[in-house]
């Protein structure tokens, strides 16, 4: 073997060795997930196998010293698209913490605030804290080589910066948080690619790095358009959803699905799954199912039990829109009636549905006697918008339809017995479109 070839082989070997020992880095995140009084979660995604940990610090008050904590390390792997949910479990209630991410021994800092806050222990002590929630649905991130030809369907990504500027405590993602394409539907790696691509948005990073993020899904992050219980790869969909979101739990009782429930300060959130149990839109025989009997009975039980000031029910499709079209709940009239009747007959008050899907925003209200139900639809964030102001939604609150890209802000304020939710709908640049107050009833 020539000396020249020996040198080439040595160089290649040394290069390969250097690569094999190089440290992995983050490609997505950090994203703050759920928050409780004693713990909070932070999600990350690395570019290869790595050991990742969360390092977090108290922000001292008065003369106290800074305290440093480290989460248990998590090993990322190709099976879960190199994602990890790190848990900070040494928290005290009502404290704000700064954090860093450690990847293979290297501590990473970021050029935007990375903080999380544990929930406050206010019960039996003080009035509930004031806090702010952001929300929206339908996030389409363009990827030209896999998108349909023609005008890009997504845009105005600066909307995420506008949301961040509102300083929300939490961000509620109301479904269609990513748009699976034809190229993605028939492989687990396709799902993981789409979720990875949709999270890789520079304008989004400050928002997800500091606010608590919770999510439901709709058809486009579950499978093909209008996908239902028949979708053969629904298990891949659920696995990927769990890999990329840090909700506190998934499923209820003995049922596997994306449903969860959590409290945030004085409010309760019931996060429903409108895909796992749903019968096909065009099915002509058998029971027409949208949420399903088990999920509805669980929801009614949980609503009756809840003592929250407001009970927010998050679901992908519109609930109170009376138009029997698209995937509005009105297309499943028997089940819709069963759910709404149960809320009224049980005397459950302060129920507000939070919905998406329709690429337009509006507030709907249904009243019976001294009780009422609201449905706030907020859509789209970055997908193409549709102006359906002429749609005959008999429950629409006058002046609340908006047919362009937008996001919602809800500010919770006031003493416990006089709690108020102030809704603000803002455009992509953060300009106020309309506002309404909903007082506890």
pLDDT at 2: 43
Please provide residue 160's backbone torsions phi and psi, each rounded to the nearest 5 degrees. Answer: -70, -35
Structure tokens given for 245: 């979101």
* pLDDT value of residue 6: 40
CA angle, residues 121, 126, 131, in degrees to nearest 5:
70
Which tokens go with 175? Answer: 């479904």
Q: Contact at 8 Å (CB) between 88 and 71? A: yes
- DSSP letter for each residue of 187-217: -HHHHHHHHHHHH--GGGHHHHTTSEEEEE-
Question: Which residue has tokens 């600066």?
Answer: 158
Residue-level pLDDT at 237: 98
What percent of the chain has a predicted confidence (pLDDT) above 90? 90
d(CA 309, CA 40): 23
Q: What gap in Å lies between CA 280 and CA 224, rounded to an integer? A: 12
The residue ranking higher by pLDDT, 220 or 20, is 220
Mean pLDDT of 388-415: 96
CA distances, 254 to each of 26, 250, 251, 295, 314 (Å): 35, 11, 8, 11, 21
Contact 437, 422 (CB under 8 A): yes
pTM (two decimals): 0.94
Looking at residue 3, its pLDDT comes to 41
pLDDT digits (tens, 9 = 90+) for 175-221: 999 999 999 999 999 999 999 999 999 999 999 999 999 999 999 99
For residues 157-173, give the mean pLDDT: 98
**Locus of tokens 């690429």:** 359
**201-236 exposure pattern, b = at least 16 Cβ within 10 A, e = fewer:** bebbbbbbbbbbbbbbbbbbbbbbebbbeebebbeb
Structure tokens at 67: 């305290």
Token output for 217 = 């899904």
Rounded distance between C-alpha atoms, residue 402 and residue 195, angstroms = 28
Q: Percent of the chain scored above 70 by pLDDT?
A: 95
What pLDDT was estimated at residue 60?
87
pLDDT, position 20: 36
Contact indicator for 206, 112 with CB cutoff of 8 Å = yes
The pLDDT, as a whole number, for residue 23 is 66
Among residues 310, 312, 309, the alpha carbon closest in space to that of 417 is found at 309
* Of 14, 12, 48, 56, residue with least CA distance to 32: 56
Per residue, the 3-state secondary structure of 401-430, as one string, reads CECCCEEEEEEEECCHHHCEEEEEEEECCC
Mean pLDDT confidence for 139-155: 96
Does residue 106 register a pLDDT over 70?
yes
69: tokens are 């904590």
Is the pLDDT at 254 greater than 90? The verdict is: no
Helices 188-199 and 234-244, interaxial angle, to 10°?
30
DSSP code at position 396: B
Q: Whose CA is closest to 54, among 35, 36, 83, 30? A: 30
Q: Using 50, 70 and 90 to split pLDDT, how confident is the model at 11? A: very low
**Does residue 231 carry a pLDDT above 60?**
yes
Choose among 67, 126, 123: nearest CA to 95.
67
Segment holding 162, helix H or strand E: helix 159-165
How many other C-beta atoms lie within 10 A of the C-beta of residue 410?
A: 24
Task: Evaluate if residue 12 carries a pLDDT over 70.
Answer: no
Confidence class of residue 18 from pLDDT cuts 50, 70 and 90? very low
Across 321-338, average pLDDT: 95
Q: What confidence tens digit (pLDDT) does each residue in 280-328 have?
A: 998 889 888 999 999 999 999 999 999 999 999 999 999 999 999 899 9
Q: Name the residue among 292, 227, 210 with its Cα closest to residue 259.
A: 292
- Dihedral angle of Cα 377, 382, 384, 385, to the nearest 10 degrees: 30
Asked if the model's pLDDT at residue 75 lies above 60, the reply is: yes
Is 58's pLDDT higher than 90? yes
**pLDDT tens for each residue of 354-387:** 999 999 999 999 999 999 999 999 999 999 999 8
Q: Which two tokens stand for residue 354?
A: 């939070």
| Average pLDDT of the residues of the chain | 93
Give the closest residue to 182 by CA, choosing from 191, 173, 174.
Answer: 191
Helix or strand holding residue 85 (H, E)? strand 83-88
70 vs 13, higher pLDDT: 70
Q: In 323-401, where do the E strands start and end?
A: 351-355, 362-368, 371-377
Going from the C-alpha of 286 to that of each of 150, 228, 229, 385, the distances in angstroms are 40, 15, 14, 35
Average pLDDT over residues 318-347: 96
């Amino acid at each position: 073997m020539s000396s020249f070839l020996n040198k080439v082989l040595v160089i290649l070997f040394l290069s390969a060795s250097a690569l094999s020992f190089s440290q992995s880095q983050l490609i997505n995140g950090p994203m703050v997930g759920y928050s409780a009084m004693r713990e909070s979660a932070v999600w990350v995604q690395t570019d290869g196998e790595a050991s990742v940990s969360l390092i977090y610090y108290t922000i001292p008050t008065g003369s106290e010293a800074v305290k440093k904590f480290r989460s248990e390390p998590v090993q990322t792997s190709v099976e879960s698209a190199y994602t990890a949910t790190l848990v900070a479990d040494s928290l005290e209630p009502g404290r704000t913490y700064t954090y860093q991410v450690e990847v293979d021994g290297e501590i990473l800092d970021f050029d935007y605030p990375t903080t999380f806050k544990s929930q406050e222990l206010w019960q039996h002590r003080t009035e509930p804290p004031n806090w702010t929630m952001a929300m929206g649905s339908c996030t389409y991130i363009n990827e030209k080589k896999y998108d349909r030809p023609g005008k890009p369907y997504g845009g105005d990504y600066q909307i995420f910066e506008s949301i961040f500027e509102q300083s929300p405590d939490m961000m509620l993602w109301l479904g269609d948080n990513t748009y699976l394409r034809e190229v993605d539907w028939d492989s687990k790696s396709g799902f993981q690619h789409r979720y990875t691509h949709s999270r890789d948005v520079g304008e989004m990073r400050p928002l997800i790095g500091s606010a608590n993020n919770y999510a439901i899904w709709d058809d486009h992050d579950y499978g093909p358009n209008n996908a239902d219980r028949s979708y053969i790869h629904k298990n891949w969909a659920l696995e990927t959803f769990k890999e990329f979101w840090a909700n506190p739990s998934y499923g209820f009782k003995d049922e596997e699905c994306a449903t969860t429930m959590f409290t945030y300060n004085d409010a309760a959130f019931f996060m429903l799954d409108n895909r796992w149990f749903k019968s096909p839109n065009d099915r002509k025989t058998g029971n027409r199912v949208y949420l399903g009997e088990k999920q509805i009975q669980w929801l009614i039980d949980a609503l009756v039990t809840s003592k929250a000031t407001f009970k927010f029910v998050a679901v992908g499709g519109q609930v109170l829109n009376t138009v029997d079209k698209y995937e509005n709940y009105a297309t499943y009239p028997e089940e819709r009636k069963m759910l709404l009747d149960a809320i009224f007959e049980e005397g459950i008050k302060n129920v507000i549905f939070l919905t998406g899907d329709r690429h337009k925003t509006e507030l709907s209200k249904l009243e019976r006697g001294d009780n009422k139900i609201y449905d706030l639809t907020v859509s789209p964030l970055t997908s193409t918008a549709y102006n359906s102001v002429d749609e005959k939604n008999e429950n629409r609150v006058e002046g609340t339809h908006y047919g362009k890209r937008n996001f919602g802000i809800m500010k919770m304020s006031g003493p416990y017995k006089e709690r108020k939710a102030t809704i603000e709908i803002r455009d992509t640049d953060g300009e106020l479109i309309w506002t309404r107050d909903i007082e506890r009833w």
